[in-house]
Amino acid sequence: MNATQPVGDATRPTPEQIDAVMLAARVLVAVSAQSVVSVEDRVTLPQLRILVVIASRGPQNLASVAQGLGVHASNATRTCDKLVNAGLLHRSDDPADRRNLVLQLTASGQQLVQNMIEHRRTAIANVLATMPPQLRNDLSPAMLAFAEAAGEIPPSRAWSLGWTTEHPGVSGRA
């Protein structure tokens, strides 16, 4: 048995494992918060949530946006109206069903989301660069397994929900 492996029930996480994930989560929350601050002069947090949903899933109707965010349709409508007026979101008739409206990001909306994502990627890359290469290599599969265990859809299967991926360079990876 490896000396660093805790003794006990292998089916249950150890307190050390939980503490390690909580510590890493604190760092990731800080990175996310800093990336939101980088765009907060242009959008509110609810507006940003809508932009990110549409950026990651592709064009959506209002009902899908509201459902995806767990908000009432009238709240989503008002927030989307503000994003349309700000030039970050485009609203058009659904060609398949003119009773529905389709929401998609404008070039400015795409750029805002991309800037936020790049802020996060840079901050994470800076942290990873300080780690020994072998630990970085071990981290990737562990983080992907953690995300999948938590219910996150990996980019390689995002198509099954009609979602697009934020970073095309990772599509096709499991």
CATH code where residue 29 lies: 1.10.10.10
**Top-confidence residue, 159 or 51:** 51
Domain extent, residue 125, equals 15-150
Q: Could you tell me if residue 93 is inside a domain?
A: yes
**What pLDDT, in 10s, does the model give residues 68-96?**
889 999 999 999 999 999 999 999 988 88
Q: What is the pTM of this model?
A: 0.75
Q: What is the pLDDT of residue 165?
A: 42
Q: Radius of gyration of the chain from Cα atoms?
A: 19
Residue 84 contacts by C-beta under 8 Å, 6 or more apart in sequence? 90, 91
Give me the percent of the chain exceeding a pLDDT of 90: 63
Give the pLDDT band (50/70/90) at residue 10.
confident
Give the pLDDT band (50/70/90) at residue 166.
very low
Q: Could you tell me if residue 47 is inside a domain?
A: yes
**Helix pair angle (107-129, 45-57), 10° resolution:** 90
Give the pLDDT band (50/70/90) at residue 157.
low
Q: Could you tell me if residue 58 is inside a domain?
A: yes
Q: Could you tell me if residue 97 is inside a domain?
A: yes
Q: Could you tell me if residue 37 is inside a domain?
A: yes
Q: Could you tell me if residue 131 is inside a domain?
A: yes
Q: What is the pLDDT of residue 1?
A: 45
Q: What is the pLDDT of residue 170?
A: 42
Q: Could you tell me if residue 100 is inside a domain?
A: yes
Q: Could you tell me if residue 92 is inside a domain?
A: yes
Give me the percent of the chain exceeding a pLDDT of 70: 83
Nearest CA to 174 out of 152, 157, 149, 150 is that of 157
Q: What is the pLDDT of residue 155?
A: 64
For the record, the structure tokens of 106 come out as 């404008």
Mean residue pLDDT across the chain: 85
**What pLDDT, in 10s, does the model give residues 116-131?**
999 999 999 999 999 9
Strand order in the sheet with 60-61: 60-61, 97-105, 89-94
Sign (positive/negative) of CA torsion 14, 20, 23, 28?
negative
**Top-confidence residue, 14 or 1:** 14
Tell me how many domains the chain contains.
1
